[in-house]
Structure 1
């Protein structure tokens, strides 16, 4: 089987590598030469355009940052849709909105092709390890045909329901990240101000009912002051905005999520390019308290 991948970023490039390692003849397209050269080095093949890639392969995967980027890649005379034909499948791993999913699905269906919205969770570490969580929306037949390919880089793969349902679950997940990281900021700063080592507080809470996986994500980045983006505040801000828009569309109040969104927006003003663990930084500045690793006392 021939497959294609568009979006060779921190997630897409290792996902593409896993496809090659799984034995799939893998074609790639990118606007930047750097990612293309890396993909070619581990055995991928370059296509000249999204349209050419779509015409060549059986299944195409995309992993792109914004709804507008989806339209850029899918639409137009050299876009994926122009190269689509009966029996082909397009899988989008991006975190976008349901309207974008429905638009892509409808346009591809006109060509006899199928579409799955299949957002991913697990971060760059999960992409490198090939153990991503993948939440899929779309027709069951397309999902079953795509499942062996998805297993190249995913180890928990679920068809949630029809088109847009994978995106819905991803937005639920990411709005919780905003809430959790905002609450964790207050937790760690409060521990520091109260004279408790935040690392010790983390170890206790990890074994208690208040634990969330967001604590594992953030703790070392905060304590070691290493805020290079694995998942940036800018992207989280975009995703929470999409979640709030969906909530408005279906008449769902999200009072707590809106508080988290305010904290994310505040952090974005100065630290948008940094990791979501940097949501703590405005609170540290406001309280004149820096959360960092404590030196162990020698005895």
Structure 2
């Protein structure tokens, strides 16, 4: 198999597509926005007229879309992926959606003889650009083995978790923790500032201590330099936490801390939803009258 299709040319999907092209795969794309499509074509991709046509041209299709409804729009309908599916073709969904959506499209594809993996990714646009994404996969192990060479074009740590929906479960676990971590870090950094300690120094020491989380690496420089451009927006994080809470109800699991984190994320979403998740700090800055900025040391 050498022909691959990609749908969802956003901040994650476009660099992932470029890695596929650079790896030597004949690559077809479909997109709503002309800018990303034209960039993909400039990299060496070929534009298809519809998801159906794309599916008919390739051996394997990858999608990376923002919300469950986007999956339905691309997969279903007379010009959707499922309409063009046939025996032996593989569809990999790198979106963060919900287990029910995974199971639904997997069932429809199976009826056409096609195979499906839910394979959400972690690592942000930086990881997509560097080709170092973590990919968590749900589906048949045989399908995973067939798809693995393609995912290695942009993934560094790629794991088969279990049956359909398993990759999505792990991704939702990850993202619900991001909400808690970023909310706690907002309190941590502002408390440091109000107590007279440079948050950058506190971060440096905590990074070498037991309280560290990777979310600190994501947030501290962006906060102190006031750079809130969305690498991963608060809107998308809130969507993922709500999906995690939905899953918790399905499995009868109380999530008290996650619900508190969701409240903090929802509060930040009201005013800063389009900004990066580290902007969760901003409502607390406003409440405390404390704006975090990088300190300029004497002599610099």
Report the TM-score range of the alignment, normalised by the length of the smaller protein: over 0.9
Paired residue for 1:151? Answer: 152
Q: CA RMSD in A?
A: 0.7
Paired residue for 1:257? Answer: 258
Looking at structure 2, the residues matched to 172 and 133 of structure 1 have their Cα atoms a distance apart, in angstroms, of: 14
Looking at structure 1, the residues matched to 225 and 22 of structure 2 have their Cα atoms a distance apart, in angstroms, of: 34
Looking at structure 2, the residues matched to 149 and 194 of structure 1 have their Cα atoms a distance apart, in angstroms, of: 50
Paired residue for 1:286? Answer: 287
Looking at structure 2, the residues matched to 298 and 28 of structure 1 have their Cα atoms a distance apart, in angstroms, of: 52
Looking at structure 1, the residues matched to 280 and 33 of structure 2 have their Cα atoms a distance apart, in angstroms, of: 30
Alpha-carbon shift at residue 32 of structure 1 (Å): 1.2
Alpha-carbon shift at residue 202 of structure 1 (Å): 0.2
- The alignment partner of 1:94 has SS state of coil
Alpha-carbon shift at residue 291 of structure 1 (Å): 1.0
Paired residue for 1:179? Answer: 180
Give the alignment of 1:93-104 within 5 angstroms: 93-104=94-105
Looking at structure 2, the residues matched to 35 and 224 of structure 1 have their Cα atoms a distance apart, in angstroms, of: 28
Alpha-carbon shift at residue 298 of structure 1 (Å): 2.7
Q: Residues 237-272 of structure 1, C-alpha deviation per residue, up to 9 Å, x if partnerless?
A: 000000000001110000011111100000000000
Alpha-carbon shift at residue 295 of structure 1 (Å): 1.1
Tell me, which stretches of 5 or more residues in structure 2 are unaligned?
A: none
Alpha-carbon shift at residue 278 of structure 1 (Å): 0.2
Paired residue for 1:49? Answer: 50
Looking at structure 2, the residues matched to 138 and 213 of structure 1 have their Cα atoms a distance apart, in angstroms, of: 28
Alpha-carbon shift at residue 203 of structure 1 (Å): 0.1
* 1:105 maps to 2:100: no
Tell me, which stretches of 5 or more residues in structure 1 are unaligned?
A: none
Q: Residues 104-135 of structure 1, C-alpha deviation per residue, up to 9 Å, x if partnerless?
A: 10000000000000000000000000010000
Paired residue for 1:27? Answer: 28
Q: Residues 211-251 of structure 1, C-alpha deviation per residue, up to 9 Å, x if partnerless?
A: 00000000110000000000000000000000000001110
- Poorly superposed stretches of 4+, deviation over 4 Å: none
Alpha-carbon shift at residue 25 of structure 1 (Å): 0.2
TM-score (norm: length of structure 2): 0.99
Alpha-carbon shift at residue 102 of structure 1 (Å): 0.3
Give the alignment of 1:81-230 within 5 angstroms: 81-230=82-231
Looking at structure 2, the residues matched to 103 and 298 of structure 1 have their Cα atoms a distance apart, in angstroms, of: 62
How many pairs does the alignment contain? 299
- The alignment partner of 1:124 has SS state of helix
- The alignment partner of 1:159 has SS state of strand
